[in-house]
Amino acid sequence: MTELARRLGVFDATMIVMGGIIGAGIFISPYVVARHVNTAPLILGAWAAGGAIALAGAFVYAELAALRPEAGGVYAYLRDAFHPIVAFLFGWTLLLVVQAGGMAAVAVTFGLYVRDLTGIALSPTALAVGALAALTIINCFGVRTGANVQNTFMVLKIVAIGALVTIGWLAVGTAPVAAPVERAGGFGAAMVPVLFAYGGWQTASFVSEEMRDTRRDLPRAMLWGIIGVVILYLATNLVYALVLTPAGLASTTTPASEVMRRAVGERGARFIALGIAISTVGYLSQGMLTAPRVYFAMARDGVFFSKVGWLHPRTRAPVYAIALQGVWAVAIALSGRYEQILNYVVAIDAIFFGLTGVALIVFRRREARDAPPGRFRTPGHPWTTILFVAAFWVVAFNTVLQFPTSAGIGVLVLVAGVPVYLWWSRRRVRLEARSSAGPPSSPSA
């Protein structure tokens, strides 16, 4: 039987961790945080606190990766800790809305920046579809090819952020006095966009079965990747706060472009626009590499279309799963509903983050007091794990309170997966019963 190819090392996994977190957000969204807190120490404090919570999450996922080094990562953790239906609902929402909706939104952002940079006579949606189609095809050539593309774009992202931070220092002290922006929510509200800006590291666990040594390399990659992102995020927000001032940061929706424009003029703004375009396509590359492994794991468990669990005999890639991800993301991009779809699942996504932390608590209670020698253990467990769970469940609760309609639609999407799971599970039982019964015996002559 064809199996997934173990071709990824610790560098690949680290780039996947960082690539799953860093999209276009750090170039654009810090103004949302500044609208909730009004001083540079509070802005940096929010990003540092978010980094600490992300690091606690990295510890959790690192230990889970050592316990269950299987394709699909989070899917396997939820399945084995709770019940297969919980894992299915994670994969269900990931495919229908979380991953595909996010990729559609980012792909259209890519199209907008490419059109503005090149003046090409194509719509942003057409460029988005082209990018998604190209990355779908690339990843069908195998995990090594997909990882090489992802690594390249991640290195370019780091270069772009490094240039923003370095060049941005030239503009420190050039900010005019900005009108104060009305603020609401305070530090707690600021943490909501911060936590989601740090989200995405969990997707590295999806390719667990394609790492050469998952138990050794994935925990390292989780920790190194998160620490790298925290450093980049803090450095970037420090430059934003110093160059634009907190009031100026809160008043602009394009802080990276504004910083570069003040430092080196319009050439700087165009350079960072190119950096944002590269960052968006890098995020898409990471998503196309990782998420299809969840659908592959679902099919292998018999709760999804069997074709999705098929591996190409030469590339050993789950090509149908990859194509499914690409086609559905294209459909959402063409529909133009991706922003609404993302609003529907913010609370649901946060709930699954928390459930994954609880999964570690469940596994710890099941096992003997002493872990197997050499296995990674989460520092400070259970307190660091509880902090991680509580942080995301507070986000989920806050989202439900602020956006009850969107959260309600998200719950409906989730609940709609229950009858689908029941149908697939019953179908699997029937097929297994038919298989165990064997072919009907021929009548005697």
For the stretch 161-197, pLDDT in tens is: 999 999 998 888 776 655 555 555 688 888 888 988 8
What's the mean per-residue pLDDT of the chain?
89
DSSP string, 383-415: HHHHHHHHHHHHHHHHHHHH-HHHHHHHHHHHH
Helix (H) or strand (E) holding 352: helix 338-366
pLDDT in tens, 325-347: 999 999 999 998 877 787 778 88
pLDDT at 299 over 90: yes
Structural fold of domain 10-369+405-432:
Amino acid/polyamine transporter I (1.20.1740)
371 pLDDT band, cuts 50/70/90, is low
- Please give the pLDDT value at position 215: 87
Given this model, what pLDDT does residue 445 score? 37
Give the integer Cα–Cα distance in Å for 129 and 125.
6
Q: How far apart are CA 17 and CA 20, in angstroms?
A: 5
158 compared with 376, residue with greater pLDDT: 158
Residue 246 has pLDDT above 70, yes or no: yes
Q: Give me the percent of the chain exceeding a pLDDT of 70.
A: 93
231: how many CB neighbours lie within 10 A of its CB? 12
Q: Token pair of 296, please? A: 């592959």
Q: Which of the given ranges, 35-44, 401-410, 434-443, has the highest pLDDT on average?
A: 35-44
pLDDT band at 207 (very low <50, low <70, confident <90, very high): very high
CB 271, CB 260: distance < 8 Å: yes
Task: Indicate the pTM of the whole model.
Answer: 0.91
Domain parsing of the chain, residue ranges? 10-369+405-432
Binned at pLDDT 50, 70 and 90, residue 433 comes out as confident
**Using an 8 Å Cβ cutoff, are 199 and 19 in contact?**
no
pLDDT band at 444 (very low <50, low <70, confident <90, very high): very low
Confidence tier at 320 by pLDDT (50, 70, 90): very high
pLDDT higher for 23 or 287?
287
